[in-house]
Amino acid sequence: MAMPVLPPDWPGGFWAHWGVFVVIIFVFVMAMVMGFIWFERRAMAIMQARLGPNRAGPFGVLQPVADAIKVLLKEDIIPAAGDKLVHWLAPVVAFVPVLMIFAVVPFQGGAILADLNIGILYVVAISSVTTVGIFMAGWASNNKYSLLGAMRQVASVVSYEIPVVLSIIGVVLLAGSLSLSQIVLAQDIPFILLQPLGFLLFFIGGCAEINRAPFDLMEADSEIVAGFHTEYSGMKFALFYLAEYGEALAISAIVTTLFLSGWRGPVLPPWLWFLLKVGLVFFVIVWIRTTVPRVRIDQLMALAWKFLFPLALINLIITAIEILAWPAASSWVIVLVNIAIMVVLVLLWSKFFRLGGGRVEV
């Protein structure tokens, strides 16, 4: 495995690098997830005219720690009629892939566990494994709400993977590489400007994949109680919770990497830029969650297949044509053209997009 961006004076070679970064990633993910939990609760609370957690530590920053301790001390309940092995295995299967995504996320130039040359493909592949864990949880719980939630999750992930991957391909075409650090290095202009439509599609699809509002159907508390983790408690529940926020973190990080030029930015140190951008993306996710209601399952499907999928295909084709036809064109012209194309396409689709489903005669 090639390590082109590994600093040459790095002591100890590959295994030291590996060990250090595993620890860094683990600590980073845990710390960021806890920070995100706190951040989401605080930001949301303020937007809802209240204060949010403010008891544990200054501004309540230690609230996630307190929650974690509470959750760890809780009794672990397994439904009597549930499938015990699968029930036990599910949180692990759901959580580990989330952690593994960060192996290829570059925190700054060279700060990466494994700069795979197929990095983004790896991300797409690994992130889907979480779904298996969630379906296992839904199945093993022997609870109808859990099963409904798990089925919703599988349906939505299977559908949304396609527009998400298609919009990633646009980025890959521009960067000419599947490696995440190469993609960042290729972004002299952030790809959000070169690929505005791709960004929109990826963001919507990403929100749907990580089950963030308005696509949080699988744990829609007002409909199916808590979805797949209805029957989970204690540490296993905590793992699902971590997985959920870890996914949110991962999506924020990948959006940052693919579209917001990753760690690159003036003045501030690169890792800080990276964190700021991740935080910004996450704030937008939280902000949307605070505002909008939830879509219905058939609307979710219709949105994926009728709205996102055709637009993603068109976006891909346009990107390919641009790259082939005007390889020498000024980037800023392309930016303007692409934004115009995005506006036209979105308006056009908004006009003609009709939702399927509704009442079913029974």
Partner 1 sequence: MKFERYGIGIAKGLRVTIRHLLRRPVTTQYPEQRLVTSRRIRGNELVWDKEKCTGCATCAKSCPQGTIQIVTSVSAEENKYVVEKFEVDTGYCIFCGLCVEACPYEALFMGYAYERAKYRRGELVLTKEGLLPSAERKPSGYARPKIEVTLPRQTLLLDRDKVKR
Partner 2 sequence: MALRTEPFVVNIGPAHPSTHGVFRMRATLDGEVIVDMEPVFGYLHRGIEKLAEERTYTGVIPLTDRLDYLASMSNNLAYVLAVEKLAEIAVPGRAEYLRVIMAELQRIASHLIAVGAFLNDCGAFMTPILYMIREREKILDLFEMASGQRLTYNYMRVGGVSQDVPEEFIPALGKFVKVMPGFIDEYDQLLAENEILLARAKGVGILPKELAINISASGPVLRASGVKWDIRKVDPYSIYDRFEFDIPTGTVGDCYDRYRVRIQEMRQSVRILKQALEQLPPGEVRSDVPHLLRPPVGEVYGHIEAPKGELGFYLVSDNSIAPYRLHIRAPSLINLTALRDMIVGWKVADAIIIFGSIDICMGEVDR
**Sites of contact with partner 2 (CB under 8 A):** 44, 47-50, 144-145, 148, 213-214, 216-217, 220-225, 289-299, 355, 357-362
Does 340 interact with partner 1 (rule: CB under 8 A)? Answer: no
Among residues 22, 37, 106, 92, the alpha carbon closest in space to that of 67 is found at 37
The residue written with tokens 């505002």 in the block is: 291
Spatial distance between the Cα atoms of 253 and 106, rounded to a whole number of angstroms: 9
Does 344 interact with partner 1 (rule: CB under 8 A)? Answer: no
Residue 44 is classified by DSSP as H
Binding mask 77-116 for partner 1 (x = CB under 8 A): ----------------------------------------
CB of 355 to partner 2, least distance (A): 6
Q: Given the complex with partner 2, which of 264 and 294 has the nearer CB atom?
A: 294
The residue written with tokens 């800023």 in the block is: 332
Residue 49 is classified by DSSP as T
Among residues 79, 22, 118, the alpha carbon closest in space to that of 236 is found at 79
Count H helices and E strands in the chain, helices first: 14, 0
Q: Which of 299, 313, 323, 345 binds partner 1 (CB under 8 A)?
A: 299
Does 302 interact with partner 1 (rule: CB under 8 A)? Answer: yes
Q: Given the complex with partner 2, which of 83 and 223 has the nearer CB atom?
A: 223
259 within 8 A of 202, measured Cβ to Cβ: yes
Q: Which of 69, 125, 272, 292 binds partner 1 (CB under 8 A)?
A: 292
Part in contact with partner 1 (CB under 8 A); list of ranges 62-70, 187-195, 261-269, 341-349: 341-349
The residues that touch partner 1, with contacts defined as CB under 8 A, are 43, 45-51, 54, 287-288, 290-292, 295, 299, 302-303, 346-347, 349-351, 353-355
